[in-house]
Structure formats: C-alpha cells, structure tokens
Structure 1
C-alpha cells in the first residue's frame, strides 16, 4: 500500500524565484547534467527498527519532518542565470511513502533489499523533483525497515542523521501523546546566504592560498588501481567487519600515541597504499562535514566537502609518527575545510579524469545514530554514499557489538570484485597486526600480504625440492649428447651447435684448462660476454672439475683487477686479450684464435663427484 506525504508547511516556503546553488551543490548538479540518466548521485540508507511500529503514526511523523526540512523540498532547474533551486510544490498529488508488508515472502529482508536496490538504480529528475523517496517495510511481526533515498545535491551524510533523529523524535512524541518539540532545522535561505558570505570573505582567500601553497608541486596521487577513470553509474561494494577485540585494541593503540581511532584507521590506509604501490608519499581524500557555525549544523542539506591529506609513509618512520602526521594534517585541513575540493583542483589545473588530486577516500563515521522510536531501538545500514571516482573506504562504528564495519566502494571501471576483496582482506589483516604491534618500530616491518599469501610465496612457491640422481651438473648434458648427438643444443644469432659439437668443443677446452691446473676444488675466472663461447666456456670449466667466477667484461679495469686478486683463480678465460688487466702472473686463455685441435673431443678423465663445487 502507499501512504501520501504533503510537503507544505506555513512559514517554511522558499520564495517562488528560488535560490542559487551553494558551492557544494554546484559540482553535483553539473555532474548530473552531464549524464541525466545516471543514478550515481543517489544516496541511500535504511534503518532497521527492532520492534513494533505504527505505520500511520510513522507516516505522520515523516510528513512533519519533510515539511520542516525546506532544504529537502526543492527541485533544481537551469535558468539563464544558472541553476536555481525552486520550491517543490506538490499540487494535488502529495509525495509518496511506499509501504509494504513482506512477512509472507520467503526472505522478507532479501525482498526488501531487492526493492531498495532497484529503487536506488532509478535516477532523479532534478527539474521535476521530488529529490527524495521513502519506504517502510514490515519484515517481521516486530521488525521494520525504513528506507530513504535522496539525491546528493540536496543531502549529505550528516543531513541524513539530522532527518533520522528528528523523525524518531517526532514519532516518539506522537506515540506517547506528548507535544512535538519545535522545528530544530535551520533554513536553506540561511545556508545559501552563509555560503555566499564565505566566498566573498577574506577567509575564503586565505583558505585558497593555503591549499594552493600546500599542493603547488601537484604531487602524484597514487591509487590501488594504478590508473584513473571517469565515475561509473554504479559502484561495487564489499562489506566486512573488524572484530570487537581488534577494534578495542586499535582504540587502545590510538590512546597510546595520543590520537583517536579514526586517526589510526586513516594512518593504516596510508601505510597500506604506500606498501601496495611502492610510493612513500600518498594523498588520501577525507570527506569532511564542512559545517562551520550554527547555520550549517542545523540544516539537513548538502555541505560535505572532500579535502586532500598528504602523508609520507616511508619504511624508516614508525607508525606512531605516521599517525602523528595524520593528527596534524587533519587539524590543518579543518582550519580550511570550507574551501571546495573542486576549487582546489581547478586552481591547480588538475582537470579531467587523468589528473586526480587524491587517491582513495577514507570516510570514517565514528558515531551511531543512537535512535529509538518510542523506545524501540534502530540500527542504521548505509546503501550508497554517492558517486565513487576510484575507491572509497567507509568505516562505521555502529556500537552494535560487532566492531567496525568497513564498506569498500569501488569504481567498476577500475576494479574487479576479486581485486577489491583482496585489498579489503589485506587491509583488515594489516589492522589486526597493527593493533598488536609496537607502534614505534619502523613501518618497513609491516608487510601487507596476509598469512595465506605469505605461505603461498615462502612455502608453496619455494617447494622446489626434487629427488636428483647421483650425478654432476655436466652429467645430464653428456648423457643427452650420447642419446641425441645430432639434436640442436645451442643457438646464438647465426651460430647453431648440435649436442655432439658442443660436447666435443667443451671437452677439448676442458682438457686445455686442466693442463693449466683447473681441477676439482679450483676456480677459473670467466670474462666472456653473452655468446655461444660463454656457454662453451662455462661447460668446459665444469667438465674440467672446477668452479667458475663470472667477470663482467664491462667492469672498470681496477674493479676486475681487485676481483682477480681477491679470488685468486688458477686462470682466466676471455674472448680477447684486452678484456682483463694482467701482470703476467695469471695464465690467460684467449678464445679468439685458440687452437684446440691437438686435444681429443672425448670426455676428460676427472675424479668428479656431486660434492665438488
């Protein structure tokens, strides 16, 4: 069934000519205008009410709250003077509240959420309005779900909390027969006037100068995807929980380093981003309320801003030092939080999808609504916080005994479900380890691989033990030469040798090296560039029973002389006589022009065992 809301109330009308948009609204309006059919600007949540609800009283309460919130009751049209928000007049058709009893469904909660997600996928018509929708679902004899969807251009997360608190307050008063308290909301006209006054003030200019100086070098904003993309119409979401025990440990950790637990969460995300990308400097995006003064604090509208937080998360610093950076960085950002994210990007010339100002957004909400409807408690469940450019990490403390809820919202143009899940699992694992670690040790000790991933790399990837026959390294090569003498053994540019040719050449050179003292337990230096002769020489040294010391022919002469003096090989093999320095003391075998014909091509005799070098 459907109940109807009449969204008019005396003394709360916006003038017929409407109002200009605030700076916070303007960017969202343009984004919607570029893609009118996109639902990306929709925000939504539902409250799970754990007890009986009178739907008629609930409708009356919501009716009054909608009437009080004039910032909600607007539509936005394009005019010759730019976009303006006009008063929403319902005329003969009041605004709908969808009511449904789903108790007969096999999965009432699932059916309700399916309806919500379908509704969330519907774009608003900004010019027509209304820019909000409500639904009340009965999913049990004493359980209800209150859903609300609002376009981001008229509402932010703090505005949701104002609406929810007031609805619970009015419902409780109506249910108890008590007088409803006075309208607590500020007016949209005051919010617009306050925004205009700020943008004409010296404070605005000081804030602009602060951000322009702080990011004058336009640092690279690394992200986990390794690339950028335009926001999509939808986003991926993965929800996980950090258990209560680890949550409490993180709060204790925060206290020990003179910070709050949101500071610790932000520092941990900076550390994760640094380790995952290899960048010591990272820039996170921090959604901030942007509500300075009594006007914005009382208006359920769109004020929220995103500000960049620039951090150095190198391996030598400690996590305590990184957390202190966060504390000081947020403190500085709050002093200039009204200057818009869009304006910072414009001032710095960071336009287009390929010039991001920030990497992931970290949206920490360290509060619960704490609502009750006539004594019946309610739990909030977020469904969408709006468009996602790259990745948004939403962290909620719902005080429900489950610890922290972490929603990873990602742009599907940049992430697959699997990749998103891996990042979330690694971050939760990092949080668990940080919670139990000494915050004063270097951050380089904190990897981001999970225990399973470390086991995969260190144990499974390295499980290379094989049963080997009791032979030497040259044994299988000589055996192959006996089995397939005419098969190709080596190819280098225009040179091709069969196994028989390679084996015979190596045997002759091995006999020559043996005559110079190369035998088991001795060392022969090899200064031959990459070539067929290099393979031949290494094999000949092994056939003679020796071990080889590779020398890079491009090393400086004094470096090569030092290595030869330090290693003291019995000889050095090179392709030409000007490769290595010499004092005449060390025999030098020059392959260029070397005549090996006097030596037989058969395997040289040697007392060689697998135990020799």
Structure 2
C-alpha cells in the first residue's frame, strides 16, 4: 500500500499551471528516438518496465485536491509501448515524427488517473522509431535524458544476456527531505533576496512583442541552422574572446533586442537545469526553472565584453536557480512591481552522445519542449556541427513574418559581431535597425 506524498515546489507549480489553465495539453513534451536499424520490441518493453518501477516520480499519479494541495501517489502499472507498422521509412524523419506526435501532444493527460507518458514504437522496413509523449510533470529536458539513458542501459543489458542494472533513481521522499533541509532552505532564501535585488535594478523588461496575449493554442516552431562558414566564424570569435559559442549567440540575441528597443539593459530568460545536489541529479521529474538573466550592456560594449558579462551572469544565476520563477513573480506582485521579469527565453541544449541500442545507432529529435507564453529559443549545440535554433512562439503574439524577422535579425547579429568583434554594440544595433526594423 503506497502512502501519498506532498509535491516539490517544481511539481506543484507545474500541477497548478495545468489545473488552473484547464489546458493540460499545453504542458505535454515529446521526443523521437530514431534507430538506425531494427530493435527488439520485447526487450524495449522489459526495459521500460524496469525503469518505470524503479522511480516513484515516474510510476505515479497526482491526486487532485479542492484546496490545491495535490499529492503524489505511486502506481506501479507499467504503460504498454504501442507498436505500429509503417509501410515505408519516412524521407524526412523530423517532419514525420512531428506530424505523428501532433494529435497526441494535443490530448491532455488526466493527472489523477493516467500514466503521464505514452510510447509508440513505429516499425518501418529499414528502421524503427520510438516516439515519447509525456507531461512536463514527469520529465523535463534533463529528465528526458535520464529516462532515455536508463532505458538504454537496460536494453543493452538484455541484448548481452546480462542481469538488468540496479537503477538508483532518487525517490520522492528523498527529494522532499532535501528540499526541506535547513541548508537548502537557507540557500533558497538567499536566492530570493538576490533575484529580487537584481530585478530592482532592472529597467523595463522587453521582448520582441509588446503583446500580453495568452496562449490559445500550441506554440508554432521555426527551425533554422547556421551556415557552416558562419558557424566557423562564430567559433573563431569565441576562441578570440576566450568565451564560448553559446555566449556569442546570447550576445547576438541581446544585440537584436537593443536594435529594436534602443535600450541597453537587456533581460533574457534562461532555462536552468536546477539540479545542484546529487539527489536532484538522479531524479527525472520536473525541476527545471526559468530565471532572469539581466545584462547591463552599454553602447560601447564590444563582443568580448558582452560575452564575458554573459558568462559571469550565468555563473551567478546558477547559484540562485533553486528559487522558482513562480515564487519570484509572487514576490513582485506583493511589492506592487511589474510581473514582466524576463524577455525572450533561451534554452541552451548541449551536445549529447547518441547511445547505441545493441549495435543500432540512434538520433534524438526534440519535438516539443513545452509551451511558452512569449517566445523561446531552443539552441541545439551539436559538437562540431553548426548550431540549430528552434524558435517556439505564442501565435497570439507572433505571426510567421515576425518570427522570420527575429530569426534573421539574430543570425545577422551573430554573423556581424563574430566577424567584427571590435564593433561596439551601438554600431551592431544600428546595422540591424537599418536592415530589419
């Protein structure tokens, strides 16, 4: 008999968003694992069973309450992987996977009754494809990786005739104990003070749209990849400025906002993994956070200065990532201050090795990382390959032309500044204004 347990702050925040919005489908996430060959469906199902039953933050339901204090109740029922035959292998795997996932992403889970994940094994003549649709409560970006790695470990053990591995997932009570400990609460209190102090020093926060329209339907995505030659220039600029390619891209995003608003203090939103303690690293459930990244730039800022500032601010942000953005907004509301605390949200997705299932290589495709009420830039850093950026937009605030202009502006800013790193920000912004605004 399982005992119901309270939720963590992150789980409760996500549960509230789902419940109050009445639009649970907006919090569905999806990935597709493309197998470069054929795999065993039975081994995959056995692997899922082992992974699922090893974590009560996976094998669970969320019991609804009238006072908005839900509880997590473990449920060992393992979801079946639904197998479906395909007549032919898709020519464009990403487009095929997105189209297949679309109706499932549009269907909300019942948090109190459903296993919050659906898995489809799509079997084509030459390759297999595993499509995973889950609620954000169950898996965030890091959690997807942890879940996939565990599934892979189990599958490979079975393929070699070895015993299934012991999976050391952090359980819900362990996570609660950590989050209720004095050191954690003290760190959270300090984070609260620091973040509020930062925001007190920030002027008006701007994004690419002034609209406050709520999300009415799933975000629309525009995907763009840097040309190889431009990416080489960006990488060279990162070496010259002793920074990283991701910091160059963040500087370009900031420059595009300066060009639009002619305000040199830029505040981005940055997705934080929010796993600072060992127990948090072994738990797949939602823990990620989005926090303000304030950048006090000036007209005379060059690329090296901008990238170095971004690096410094990200390091500072990592120390305060345990304080939830929802709590931060409540703080601002109580103080009668603006709830607009972040501009465009950026998610830096580092390169990860694609594991083999037996002898079969894989490629992972992120189909949906959840819903944003404004715009989110998912930056895929692909080792030595050019970065790809997904622009996920609230269609109530941005039409296709808007998104294309934003993409062109950011890519142009990266190209201009990386090729001429001594240019001042005011000069880069003026070039962008003349060309795009």
Indicate the TM-score class for this superposition, using the shorter chain for normalisation. Answer: over 0.9
CA distance 1:369–1:34, change in 2 (3 Å): farther
Partners of 1:113 and 1:200 in 2: how far apart?
Answer: 40
Asked if the contact 1:136–1:147 (Cα under 8 Å) also holds between the matched residues in 2, the reply is: yes
Asked if the contact 1:392–1:408 (Cα under 8 Å) also holds between the matched residues in 2, the reply is: yes
Asked if the contact 1:426–1:449 (Cα under 8 Å) also holds between the matched residues in 2, the reply is: no
Aligned to 2:70, the other structure's residue is in SS state: strand
Asked if the contact 2:252–2:411 (Cα under 8 Å) also holds between the matched residues in 1, the reply is: no
Shift of 1:353: 13
Larger helix proportion of the pair: 2
1:241 partnered with 2:228: no
* Superimposed CA distance per residue, residues 25-72 of structure 1 (whole angstroms, 9 cap, x where no aligned partner): 122111111133441111111111112212222222222222223211
* Superimposed CA distance per residue, residues 511-549 of structure 1 (whole angstroms, 9 cap, x where no aligned partner): xxxxxxxxxxxxxxxxxxxxxxxxxxxxxxxxxxxxxxx
Asked if the contact 2:199–2:341 (Cα under 8 Å) also holds between the matched residues in 1, the reply is: no
1:318 partnered with 2:302: yes
Shift of 1:146: 1.1
1:357 partnered with 2:341: yes
* Superimposed CA distance per residue, residues 70-123 of structure 1 (whole angstroms, 9 cap, x where no aligned partner): 211111122366111111253xxx522111111348868455542211111111
Q: Map 1:291-310 onto structure 2 (within 5 A).
A: 291-310=275-294
Asked if the contact 1:22–1:196 (Cα under 8 Å) also holds between the matched residues in 2, the reply is: no
Partners of 1:375 and 1:409 in 2: how far apart?
Answer: 35
CA distance 1:201–1:351, change in 2 (3 Å): closer
Asked if the contact 2:295–2:309 (Cα under 8 Å) also holds between the matched residues in 1, the reply is: yes
1:67 partnered with 2:53: yes
Partners of 2:393 and 2:169 in 1: how far apart?
Answer: 34
Please, what is the CA RMSD of the aligned residues? 2.6
Shift of 1:350: 7.7
1:428 partnered with 2:415: no
Shift of 1:377: 1.7
Shift of 1:207: 1.5
Given candidates 359, 363, 374, the residue that maps to 1:379 is 363
Shift of 1:159: 0.5
Given candidates 102, 105, 129, the residue that maps to 1:120 is 105
Asked if the contact 2:45–2:81 (Cα under 8 Å) also holds between the matched residues in 1, the reply is: yes
Rg larger in 1 or in 2? 1
1:146 partnered with 2:133: no
Partners of 2:289 and 2:236 in 1: how far apart?
Answer: 30
Partners of 2:351 and 2:66 in 1: how far apart?
Answer: 43
Q: Map 1:410-449 onto structure 2 (within 5 A).
A: 410-437=393-420, 439-447=421-429
Aligned to 2:80, the other structure's residue is in SS state: strand
Aligned to 2:25, the other structure's residue is in SS state: coil
- Matched with 1:130 is 115
TM-score (norm 1): 0.67
Partners of 1:106 and 1:266 in 2: how far apart?
Answer: 35
- Matched with 1:160 is 144
Give ranges in structure 2 of 5+ residues lacking alignment: none
Higher relative contact order (CA 8 A, sep 6+): 2
CA distance 1:218–1:272, change in 2 (3 Å): closer
Partners of 1:176 and 1:83 in 2: how far apart?
Answer: 42
Q: Map 1:262-301 onto structure 2 (within 5 A).
A: 262-301=246-285
Given candidates 238, 243, 249, the residue that maps to 1:254 is 238
* Superimposed CA distance per residue, residues 420-478 of structure 1 (whole angstroms, 9 cap, x where no aligned partner): 112112212222223322x2331222147679x84x99xxxxxxxxxxxxxxxxxxxxx
- Matched with 2:9 is 23
Partners of 1:361 and 1:158 in 2: how far apart?
Answer: 17
CA distance 1:199–1:246, change in 2 (3 Å): same
Partners of 2:30 and 2:353 in 1: how far apart?
Answer: 15
- Matched with 1:403 is 386
Given candidates 364, 377, 385, the residue that maps to 1:393 is 377
Partners of 2:182 and 2:292 in 1: how far apart?
Answer: 20
Q: How many residues end up aligned between the 2 structures?
A: 435
Partners of 1:238 and 1:448 in 2: how far apart?
Answer: 26
Partners of 1:208 and 1:198 in 2: how far apart?
Answer: 15
CA distance 1:196–1:311, change in 2 (3 Å): same
Aligned to 2:351, the other structure's residue is in SS state: coil
* Superimposed CA distance per residue, residues 321-372 of structure 1 (whole angstroms, 9 cap, x where no aligned partner): 1111111111111111111111111112289998311010011112224311
Partners of 1:340 and 1:448 in 2: how far apart?
Answer: 36
Aligned to 1:264, the other structure's residue is in SS state: helix
- Matched with 1:584 is none
* Superimposed CA distance per residue, residues 284-320 of structure 1 (whole angstroms, 9 cap, x where no aligned partner): 0011111011100111111111111111333322121
Given candidates 22, 28, 53, the residue that maps to 1:36 is 22
TM-score (norm 2): 0.92
Partners of 2:28 and 2:337 in 1: how far apart?
Answer: 21
Partners of 1:366 and 1:136 in 2: how far apart?
Answer: 26
Asked if the contact 1:49–1:376 (Cα under 8 Å) also holds between the matched residues in 2, the reply is: yes
Give ranges in structure 1 of 5+ residues lacking alignment: 1-14, 458-613
Aligned to 1:226, the other structure's residue is in SS state: coil
